[in-house]
Structure 1
Amino acid sequence: MAGQARHKVTIGEIAAEAGVSNATVSKVLNGRSDVSAATRERVQEIMDRHHYQRRRPRRRGGIVDLVMNELDSLWSIEIIRGAQEALAEAGVSMVLSAVHGSSTGTGEWLEQIAGRRSDGAILVVSDLTPRQRARLAALKVPFVLVDPVGSADAGVPTIGATNWAGAISAVDHLIGLGHRRIAHLAGPRQLLCSRARADGYRAAMERAELAVPDGWLRFGEFNDASGRRQLTDLLDETAAAGGLPPTAVFAASDLQAFGAYTALRERGLRIPQDISIVGFDDVPVTRWSDPMLTTVRQPLQDMAAMAARTLLRLVDGEEVDLPRVELSTRLVQRESTGPVPPGPDTPQ
């Protein structure tokens, strides 16, 4: 009406009039392809009729923090590369911080984020306390978790991978080669991804009606020293008990798999003629190992890039469609796996 200020229509009102969700309106605004032509046309017509103009909050400084437990692993390098490339495409700078595991509780990285007025944070940390979450909320700093330690809050965007399905594909591959005695060198027990891979191993073994002897699923760390120690202890304990050793090993990370390589070579055992090995991650060095490692490819760069793009949407005041996204893993067959060696349980 004349003399009255024009009401500025909101995304919620457009969604209600179009009979769609707020997320669908956001997709139309962003030119996303996963919206039907009819829906796109209806939403666009309503926006045009109401003279809707998108209001994007101004970013405070064009800076995003990437906070990680460590920076010196092959896994970390892939995450850093994926996040940096996605942020660079958007013209946003990235500040990298290492909290070295236990120091997440000090909160020093939080005060650094506050001091430089970061737009948001990509967190790849082993733990995030309620106090730290509250501090981020008080700072009005949106954040996205990558591969969190446990189940995140429903409202916290999380990017992960299909760890359970990836583990099943690894064990099924070994079973398909005739292996029946398969051990698993798991990652840290407190990490969600480690538990998911261990659960996938158990599920595949149970489905094939194969036993998992005591000590054949061993939790450790995602590094080569742990893999070497885990397999050495397993072989020593099995021999002391008079049992048959595994003919195949599924390691929860490529670095643990390389540690298993060392343990086997110290015993004069060949890969894969005596024992087959499967890793997890598919870091670049797997293509240069001898033998080249069969592994489950985790899309680390894609995970980090999606986390970065999701964060920028939050910074711009948009809604995120799915609070948790899991990107697909897939088995990459190379030279470290082969048929089961002749023995008492070789299929006839």
Structure 2
Amino acid sequence: MSDTARRHRASSKSTQLADIAERTGYSLATVSKVLNGRSDVAAGTRQIIEEALRDSGYTKRISTTKNRKLIEAVFQNFDNIWSLEVLRGIVHEASAHEMSVVTTESGDRSHPDSRWVEGVLRRQPLGVVLIFSNLTESEKSRLQAFNIDYVTLDPAGDPSPDNLSVQADNWTGGLIATRHLLSLGHTRIGIITGPNSMLCSKARLDGYKAALDEHDIPFDPDLVREGDFSTAGGYLQGLSLLKNSAKRPTAIFAGSDLQSMGVYEAARTLDLKIPEQLSVIGFDDVQTAAHMGPALTTVRQPLQDMAAAAVRMIIDKSHGRPIQNRSIYPTTLIVRDSTRPLEISEPH
């Protein structure tokens, strides 16, 4: 690019920002702070300036994507094995492309605190892997203004067709988990879902219902508990299902391996042996599942592969390669030692 062209571009940029400053009544410095993701701007001021930037079609010019060697991963937290599995996949794929990874912990499972965006805008990664639901319109606009692509991994809600997302076939996972227990003769099967607000929880529950329907077994709401995908939640909901011996299920489908760990502890509390008196099946197949006592039968969703795919989506899009906006990975049954055929002498 010639010096004349550079001067013209810089002048055009300054003119655009000056126009936005004049239109909104704020100083050029304040407009620049908003544009650069600075946190020292009042929320109301930020909203007004962001709307003006968006209406004007202004896009921040940043360094070429060839020089951006950073992928950002936004998690709720790292206090469980599930998150570590996802992070492994992100780091492995990023390393294969000679890129680094930065992680952010923020907010809750369904959506993080919006302040995470400010950090992303300051760092200007090539793209962001989001482990939560879809973005707000304001968050989308701020990332788009910086040409920062994002992929939602395991979205809590149904992602927009325009958004990039990677998820597992949760409905089939729920179906094959329940079919497995039914094939062993269990008909009174408890289920501990994840939060009802999350798409994956609803899909796994629907798969459970479909398997029951295949065997003409009526759906019993009394056998359903809403969990939170945590070990502590699995323990509490496991106790709730098992404490009444007269209505106790002979098998439990826990909506995650972490919840299965909680069910194991609940069974021990009640002196119930797994699998002799209670069959348990999980979901995820995290690394520790095979080393539980007994080894956990579970439905595998390829977390590391899914996370790697999210990184590849970002890289492929930055290079102008064709991509599918929505990627759904198959789930598979992994049979181990925590499930067994129901004996005739066991209560139903």
Instruction: Give the TM-score normalised by structure 1.
Output: 0.78
Write the deviation string for residues 268-314 of structure 1: whole angstroms up to 9, x where unpaired.
11111111000000111111111000001110000000110111111
Q: Flag the 1:277–1:141 CA change in 2: closer, same or farther, 3 A.
A: same
- Report the equivalent of 2:86: 79
8 Å contact from structure 2 (residues 165, 327) kept in 1 = yes
Structure 1 residues 91, 214: closer, same or farther in 2, change over 3 A?
A: same
Cα distance change of structure 1 residues 202 and 102 upon mapping to structure 2, 3 Å threshold: closer
Q: Secondary structure at the match of 1:107?
A: coil
Secondary structure of the 2:235 match is helix
User: How many residues get paired?
Assistant: 285
Gaps of 5+ in 2: 1-63
> Of the candidates 293, 301, 304, which is equivalent to residue 301 of structure 1?
304
Q: Secondary structure at the match of 2:305?
A: helix
Partner Cα separation in structure 2 for residue 315 and residue 291 of structure 1:
46
Q: Secondary structure at the match of 1:230?
A: helix
Question: Which residue among 92, 104, 113 is the counterpart of 1:106?
Answer: 113
Q: 1:60 to 1:112 in 2, by over 3 A?
A: farther
Paired residue for 1:70, among 69, 77, 89? Answer: 77
**Contact 2:112/2:132 (8 A) holds in 1:** no
The percent identity for this pair of structures is 36
Matched-pair contact (CA < 8 Å) for 1:122–1:308: yes
What is the aligned counterpart of 1:335 among 334, 337, 341?
A: 337
- Counterpart residue number, 2:251: 248
Residue 194 in structure 1 maps to residue 197 in structure 2: no
Q: Match for residue 37 of structure 2?
A: none
3-state SS in 1 of match to 2:206:
helix
Q: Report what 2:327 is aligned to.
A: 325
Task: Please say if 1:203 is aligned against 2:210.
Answer: yes
Equivalent residue, structure 1, for 2:227: 220
Could you give the per-residue CA deviations for residues 63-96 of structure 1, whole angstroms, max 9, x where no partner exists?
1111111112101101000011101111111111
Report deviation, 1:211: 2.4
Q: Is the 2:176–2:333 contact (alpha carbons within 8 Å) kept by the matching residues of 1?
A: yes
Paired AA for residue 220 in structure 2: P
**Aligned-pair CA distance for 1:102:** 6.7
1:1-348 aligned at under 5 Å gives the runs: 58-101=65-108, 104=111, 106-126=113-133, 128-236=135-243, 238-239=244-245, 243-320=246-323, 322-343=324-345
Letter of the aligned partner of 1:333 in structure 2? V
Provide runs of 4+ in structure 1 moved above 4 Å: 102-105, 343-346
CA contact 1:174–1:248 (8 Å) conserved in 2: yes
TM-score after normalising by structure 2: 0.78
* 1:140-182 deviations in Å (ceiling 9; x for gaps): 2111111101111111111111111111111111111111111
What is the root-mean-square deviation of aligned Cα atoms in Å? 1.8
Distance 1:89 1:244 in 2: 52
Q: Which moved more, 1:174-183 or 1:215-224?
A: 215-224
> How far apart in 2 are the matches of 1:102 and 1:158?
16
